[in-house]
Structure 1
Amino acid sequence: MRGELTASGIDPASVVTAEEIGGGTYNRAVRLVLADGRRLVLKIAPSAPGLTYEHDLLETEAEYYRLASGPLPSVVGAGPGFLLMTEVPGVPWSEVSGTGPHLRTELGAIVARLHETTGDGFGYLQDPPHPTWPAAFTAMVDAILSDAVRYRVRLPRPGAEIAHLVRRHEPLLAQVTTPVLVHFDLWRGNILLDGGHVSGIIDAERAFWGDPVAEFVSLTLFRDLDEPLLTGYGAASLDAPARRRLTLYRVYLGLIMLVEMVPRRDANPDRERYVTAWLAENLDAAQRAV
């Protein structure tokens, strides 16, 4: 930890307290309080192998915070395998009960602002860009299917069948022509609340340039779209093509959630069954939409 602080221009001797932050499933995170009162978070990448796209993720997260506009951490320092940033006030939404729909509307407006950031190519920030969204998305799906083979993960459909299904939707994916910066991990654990409002968005390490509709996968994980969120986002609803693309992105996230259980040594059979069923449901929906 001393090396990361020094590289970021922080004197390690100025650290008053250092506390491990739980709840993460990939990187190690440490909350730091400095003698001058500043509160920082240091994230350190694991050395264990992961999925194909899980490389240089902290570099991606740092770039996301530099590019996007919203209630985000500020980058203090970054380098190979680490990210030092300011701490955003608040507690994870997943730890708060009894919240009203106004927060969903507020969140939708924040996401709309995040989506104002656009790029020149498609795909993960840490990888070479693709010229089109169909090229990027099919490559992303191919990579996770290869991971499934490598980790011997049992999928609800053969990998070749899933890849073929995605390619049959390439004309639909081609409707997306502007690369938008997508967080893609906006479940309630990565959304902070403070004083009855959304105070922060964190853990942007899985961001990519792509279809903004993909953001709604984690925003509505395991459930349907809700009106307050869409109202805040500025959309009365998603049209039929957008909903068909959303199903494809749910397939992609379902594949990730299922395959990553092996390298993360997650042996929870209930979680595996639930994710497998959700993935199969969305594969069936995508098949019907062809």
Structure 2
Amino acid sequence: MTVELILAEADLTEFTVRPLGGGTYNAVYRVTSPEGDFVLKVSPSDQPGLTYERNLMRTEALFCRLGHEVAPVPEVVHTDFSRTLVPGDALLTTCLPGQPLFGRTDVDRASVRRQLGKAVAGLHEVTGPGFGYPQLGLHTSWTSAFFAMVDAVRADAVRFGVDLPDISLDPRVFDEVKRPSLVHFDLWDGNVLTDTGLTGLVDGERAFWGDPVAEFVSLALFGSIEDDGDFLGSYGFEFTDSARIRLASYQAYLYSIMLVERVPRGSSDPAMERLVTDALRRALDVLP
């Protein structure tokens, strides 16, 4: 892969490129040049994936363009979706300062979570033209969009030979969602950057337009966001019974994805599989 062609097209000069770890889907590089520090992501060209994992780089570019206006999100510097210079889609963004929050003991976590609450609330004020994944075509209602998302992961499970339990969905609780908010849907601690405080929200490739409550799944991965008073107080959210049912549904959806995607990614960690399976069961126990 000649990533230098992309960087030259972006008018960077005398750059150095080194791979960055942590990515599970795209190839990711740190780029240093006289023009500044950047992150280059290149999507796989032929990697088998789930239904929604199509043109994800284009969704991430959209997320960055919109999110950068309201939150600490990378700024888009250059895109190339022609697939002529490199086999996949390419996205070049600014490189934000800080390190992932995951595993950090040297930061004031309560303060970071309060800052995160305000930042995420800002993202959720961004309103889209419809519901669902931008790369798959939008729906006129959140109920229609989310049911299609669940149907897709069920079909993926069949395709990859994964046995998933049924997710019982009550359309009435999803009908309550009237506005398509910008939802990152992957804001676990690994995608939250911190220095002395919050410095960035990264990897928005799995974003969609939908219910803000869906964001709370990855923000408290394998746990409960209701235990995070710092985040919720800053965000300004109080749970209702229907919101709890929707949250459990979104948890079941994400944990189903995590079980199915293990096959195309070749993952074979039994401890992680048990962790995800147990979390999925807890979510399903909440549903009527």
Instruction: Tell me the secondary structure at the aligned position of residue 9 of structure 1.
Output: coil
| Residue 209 (structure 2) aligns with | 209
| Residue 97 (structure 1) aligns with | 105
What TM-score does the superposition give when structure 2 sets the normalisation length?
0.92
Instruction: Tell me the secondary structure at the aligned position of residue 262 of structure 1.
Output: helix
For the 8 Å contact 1:59–1:79, the answer to whether it is kept is no
**Pairing 1:2-13 to 2, within 5 Å after superposition:** 2-11=4-13
| Residue 85 (structure 2) aligns with | none
Whole-angstrom CA distance in 2 between matches of 1:205 and 1:30: 16
Structure 2 unaligned blocks of 5 or more: 82-88
For the 8 Å contact 1:191–1:198, the answer to whether it is kept is yes
Instruction: Tell me the secondary structure at the aligned position of residue 262 of structure 2.
Output: coil
Which amino acid is the alignment partner of residue 63 of structure 1? L
Whole-angstrom CA distance in 2 between matches of 1:111 and 1:96: 20
Instruction: Tell me the secondary structure at the aligned position of residue 93 of structure 2.
Output: strand
Identical columns (%): 46
| Residue 144 (structure 2) aligns with | 135
For the 8 Å contact 2:222–2:276, the answer to whether it is kept is no
| Residue 33 (structure 1) aligns with | 32
| Residue 63 (structure 1) aligns with | 62
Whole-angstrom CA distance in 2 between matches of 1:143 and 1:9: 40
Whole-angstrom CA distance in 1 between matches of 2:12 and 2:158: 43
Instruction: Tell me the secondary structure at the aligned position of residue 199 of structure 2.
Output: strand
Task: Say whether 1:119 aligns with 2:128.
Answer: yes
Q: CA deviation at 1:241?
A: 1.2
Whole-angstrom CA distance in 2 between matches of 1:204 and 1:130: 20
Whole-angstrom CA distance in 1 between matches of 2:274 and 2:44: 27
Say what the alpha-carbon RMSD is for the aligned residues: 1.2
**Pairing 1:279-290 to 2, within 5 Å after superposition:** 279-286=280-287, 290=288
**Pairing 1:112-261 to 2, within 5 Å after superposition:** 112-155=121-164, 157=165, 161-162=166-167, 165-166=168-169, 169-194=170-195, 196-225=196-225, 226-235=228-237, 237-261=238-262
* Count of aligned positions: 273
Whole-angstrom CA distance in 2 between matches of 1:97 and 1:244: 33
Structure 1 unaligned blocks of 5 or more: none
For the 8 Å contact 1:184–1:215, the answer to whether it is kept is yes
Whole-angstrom CA distance in 1 between matches of 2:9 and 2:139: 33
Whole-angstrom CA distance in 1 between matches of 2:268 and 2:232: 36
Where has structure 1 moved over 4 Å in runs of 4 or more?
none
